[in-house]
Amino acid sequence: MIVGVPKEIKNHEYRVGLTPDQVFELSRFGHQVLIEKNAGQGIGFLDEHYVMVGAEIVDHAKHIFERSNLVVKVKEPQPEECQMLKPGQTLFTYLHLAPDPAQTQALINSQATCIAYETVTSSNGRLPLLAPMSEVAGRMSMQAAANHLEKSQGGRGLLLGGVPGVYPAQVVILGAGVVGSSALQMAVGLGAEVTIIDKNIDRLRELDALYGNRIHTLYSSTSNIERAVINADVVIGSVLIPGASAPKLVSKSLVSKIHPGSVLVDVAIDQGGCFETSRPTSHQDPTYLVDDVIHYCVANMPGAVARTSTIALTNATAPFVMDLANHGTELALARNQHLMNGLNVYQGHVCCQAVAIAQGLEYVDPKTLIH
C-alpha cells in the first residue's frame, strides 16, 4: 500500500502523522511511504531521517493526495485538503465532525473513507487514540491557566498555588475523564484549591481515594456547577461525549457573574466547547475576553508541545495504521470492530451516529456497507 503523510497546515501545528520509527516498520512490511517535504522539520524529524528508513520525500501535498491509498494526518483536513481527497482513498486523522457541518459535507462530497482517531475504541470501552492527546491537553490546560492568571496577561494577578498566608487560586474542573484527571494532577501538584465535577460517582470515588482531602468532588448538576464556577479563578472545561458536540455547561449569563480576570480554558473546543461563550482560537492569538473573563480556547493545544505529542500519538495510532496498510481498509474495518467504530464517513455516507444526530443527517450503519 502507498501511505502518504502531508505536512500539517493548521495554524502553529507542527505535529506529523508518522515518525521515522513508524515509517521503518511500514517499509519493513513492503509498504511505500510518501512524506511531504519538511513535514516533521519543526520537531526535529528531518527529511533525511525519513529517507534513511525508506520513505520518499514529496515536494507538494497535492502529490501526496494524488498517489496515496492511505493518508495519515494529525488534525482535521482543511478545506483545500478536503478538495484533494478522492473516491477509494482512506483518510486516518482527527476529524471532530459534530460541530463542523462544512467539513462533514466536504468529506461526504469526496467519496473517501474517513476514519476519526477520536471515535476509535478499545476492548475496555475507552478511546485509545484520543487519550494521549487528552493527557497532554489536560496538563497544558493548567499551564495555560497559571500563565493567564498573571496580571501581565490580563488575569487577576494570582499565583495558582498561593504562598503561606495567602489563599491559593480556586480551580474548578468540569469532567473527570482523561483531560480532567490530567488537569487535576497538575493543579494539585501546583498547590491550587481544586473542585472536580462529574456525573460518574464511581469515578469521583476513585479520585477521592487517590487525592483525599486535597480535592473536592461534586456531582454534576446545574446548581452545583453554578455555585462552583461563580467563585472560581480558573475553570477547565473537559467534558466529552464521544463523536458528539460537547454539552454547554456554562451559560453566558453565568460567565458574566465570574470574577473579572478569571480564566476559562475550554479543552472541549474541538467538539464545539462546553462554555456558551467559547469560540476556537489559535496558538498565535489564544485568548479573548467576554465580560472581562479570559477565554483560552485553542483548538490544537497539544500542538504547542508538538514533539512530545507526535510521539505519544503515533505510539497509539501505529497498530491501526499497520492494520490498514497490511489488510486494506475494508478488510481491516471488517475484522476490527474498534477500528470500525472510528469510521465517520464512508463513500458519501455518514457512519457515525453522533455526527448524524448533531447535524440532522442520515445515519448509515457501516456494517451494512462493509462486510
Calculate the average pLDDT of the chain.
96
**Model confidence at 146: pLDDT above 80:** yes
- Which range is least confidently modeled, 34-43, 203-212, 236-245? 236-245
| pLDDT score of 371 | 76
31, 96, 148, 349: the catalytic one is 96
| pLDDT score of 241 | 84
Look at residue 36 and give its three-state secondary structure.
strand
Contact criterion met (CB below 8 Å) for 361 and 101: no
**Model confidence at 54: pLDDT above 80:** yes
Q: Is 291 a catalytic residue?
A: no
Q: Which residues contact 238 (CB under 8 A, 6 or more apart)?
A: 138, 141, 173, 174, 175, 177, 179, 180, 183, 267, 268, 274
Note the pLDDT tens digit of each residue in 153-199.
Answer: 999 999 999 999 999 999 999 999 999 999 999 999 999 999 999 99
The DSSP output letter for 4 is E
**Model confidence at 151: pLDDT above 80:** yes
Q: Is 283 a catalytic residue?
A: no
Q: Cβ of 365: how many Cβ atoms within 10 Å?
A: 10
What is the mean predicted confidence (pLDDT) over 4-29? 96
Contact criterion met (CB below 8 Å) for 274 and 174: yes
What is the mean predicted confidence (pLDDT) over 96-125? 96
pTM confidence score: 0.88
| pLDDT score of 308 | 96
- How far apart are the C-alpha atoms of 301 and 282, rounded to whole Å? 8
Helix (H) or strand (E) holding 93: strand 90-93
What is the mean predicted confidence (pLDDT) over 326-333? 97
**Model confidence at 242: pLDDT above 90:** no
266, 270, 295, 349: the catalytic one is 270
Contact criterion met (CB below 8 Å) for 216 and 198: no
- How far apart are the C-alpha atoms of 22 and 60, rounded to whole Å? 21
- How far apart are the C-alpha atoms of 67 and 74, rounded to whole Å? 19
